[in-house]
């Protein structure tokens, strides 16, 4: 039996895809300007 490909890791995920990761790029700013209800999941 081989290991499954997706091994969920909360720390790594939030670092890569979380709110503060999005702040470092301009994603949050552009979504705020557009008036999105949800800025990031």
Q: Residue 40: what pLDDT?
A: 82
Task: Give domain status of residue 2, yes or no.
Answer: no
The tens digit of pLDDT for each residue in 1-41 reads 899 999 999 999 999 989 999 899 899 999 999 999 998 87
> Is the pTM above the cut of 0.85?
no
Q: Is 20 inside a domain boundary? A: yes
- The pLDDT, as a whole number, for residue 10 is 92
For residue 34, what are the domain limits?
A: 10-41
In a domain, 24, yes or no: yes
Residues 1, 22: contact at Cβ < 8 Å? no
Quick one: pLDDT at residue 41? 77
Q: Are 18 and 24 in contact (CB under 8 A)?
A: no
CB 16 within 8 A of CB 24: no
Residue 30 lies in a domain: yes
| Domain count for the chain | 1
Q: How far, in Å, CA of 8 to CA of 37, rounded?
A: 27
């Amino acid at each position: 039996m081989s290991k499954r490909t997706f091994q969920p890791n909360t720390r790594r995920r939030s670092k890569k895809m979380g709110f503060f990761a999005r702040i470092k790029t301009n994603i949050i700013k552009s979504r705020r300007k557009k008036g999105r209800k949800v800025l990031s999941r």
